[in-house]
Amino acid sequence: MKENLIVTGGLGFIGSNLIKLLLKKNFSVINIDNVSYSSNFYNLKDLPKKNYKFIKCDINNKKKLINIFKISKPLAIFNLAAETHVDRSIDTPKSFIESNIVGVFNLLEAFRKHCKKFKKTKLIHISTDEVFGDIIKGRSNEDYPYRPSSPYAASKASSDHLVSSYVRTFNIPAIVTNCSNNYGPQQHPEKLIPKLIYNILNNIPLPIYGDGKNSREWIFVEDHCDALFQVFKKGKIGEFYNIGSNKNYNNFEIAKKLINISSQHIKLGNDVKIKYVKDRPGHDKRYALNSDKINKKLLWKSSTDINNGLKKTFLWYLNNEKYFKSIKKFHIIKRLGNI
């Protein structure tokens, strides 16, 4: 019998990529997702029925979670269920509080109960570099103070604090990971890179916030998932691990790279050019992680070069036309976070 792992938020971008990796690693996976607007069954459409089970469930449903944990006795629970779009958190912060803070509280309560009897299960809580706020110079390590700028980042920071407080107070076996900006196949086109690809494919100008100089540490999603697997295998309970590529690019550079890569595969329309638009309020200038800890202690390093990763990403969207069709158009083109 294969061992069970649980992934919450498995119909989303990173969760669906992680499920594919865990199945390849010979585990049986249970995907818990509340099927929100950012979920997509297309992301897991080709999975074999064997060793994979989907359960529609909100992480706020403590009773149902306790039952799923009890029946499946997982080796680990990877928590990726969250509201994730910064712009959306500016327009409608409430859902971020409900899923990212109250949801994690309920998940922790369910997990705490489960742990009393089943001591082997680990909780791996997936978080973001955005909790550190603007890093104008240098790179933030795991000891850096949390200074979140957006309601999204603040809700994730709260959830990280909740998890570490439960480790300290209730002795639950949990680990927190903070990763930098992911890109790759299956990401909702409300986010920068798939939005730029959608516009390139549809001959629409490429909207870039402010002066285009906001810098992010971009990591290919498969590298992130690989790091999460190493954390599950070798990570130390109660620890935080940064996960990054150590490579920063600003939004202008990303748009230029995508125009260049796509021009090698399709004929670009006349409107495919950068268009600067009003910035989002509170937009952090730069995030950058110091990932020495995971590099040295877990012997993990990100391996995908940005040009290869962007090429793979572009080709996936080009070859999966139906993906964009499965998403309501206003979720792709509507500008959010523009107060």
Q: Mind telling me the catalytic residues?
A: 129-130, 152
Per CB under 6 A, the segment of 177-185, 192-200, 230-238, 283-291 that binds ligand NAD is 177-185
| Cβ 243 to ligand NAD shortest distance, Å | 8
* 84, 121, 140, 245: residue in contact with ligand NAD (rule CB under 6 A): 84
Q: Which tokens in the block code for residue 236?
A: 């130390």
- By CB under 6 A, residue 80 contacts ligand NAD: yes
- By CB under 6 A, residue 36 contacts ligand NAD: yes
- By CB under 6 A, residue 179 contacts ligand NAD: yes
| CA distances from residue 228 to 221, 238, 248, 261 in whole angstroms, order as listed | 11, 15, 21, 29
CA 95 to chain CA centroid, nearest Å: 17
| Cβ 216 to ligand NAD shortest distance, Å | 9
User: CA–CA separation, 141 vs 106, rounded Å?
Assistant: 29
| Cβ 334 to ligand NAD shortest distance, Å | 16
Residues 220 and 304: beta-carbon distance below 8 Å? yes
Identity of the residue, 141 or 269, whose beta carbon is nearer to ligand NAD in the bound complex = 141
| CA distances from residue 179 to 15, 57, 126, 154, 220 in whole angstroms, order as listed | 14, 25, 8, 15, 11
- Coil/strand/helix, residue 272: coil
Q: Are strands 240-243 and 4-8 parallel, antiparallel or unpaired?
A: unpaired
| CA distances from residue 59 to 80, 111, 181, 231 in whole angstroms, order as listed | 10, 11, 24, 22
What mask of x and - would describe binding to ligand NAD in positions 139 to 158, judged by CB under 6 A? -----------------x--
Identity of the residue, 105 or 272, whose beta carbon is nearer to ligand NAD in the bound complex = 105
Q: The dihedral of CA 106, 110, 115, 118: what is its sign?
A: negative
- Give the CB-nearest residue to ligand NAD: 12
Residues in the chain: 339
- By CB under 6 A, residue 185 contacts ligand NAD: no
* 74, 103, 194, 244: residue in contact with ligand NAD (rule CB under 6 A): 103
User: CA–CA separation, 5 vs 304, rounded Å?
Assistant: 26
| Cβ 130 to ligand NAD shortest distance, Å | 8
Per CB under 6 A, the segment of 120-128, 268-276, 291-299, 311-319 that binds ligand NAD is 120-128
**Which residues in this chain contact ligand NAD in the complex, by CB under 6 A?**
8-9, 11-15, 33-36, 38-39, 58-60, 80-84, 99, 103, 126-128, 156, 179, 181-182, 188
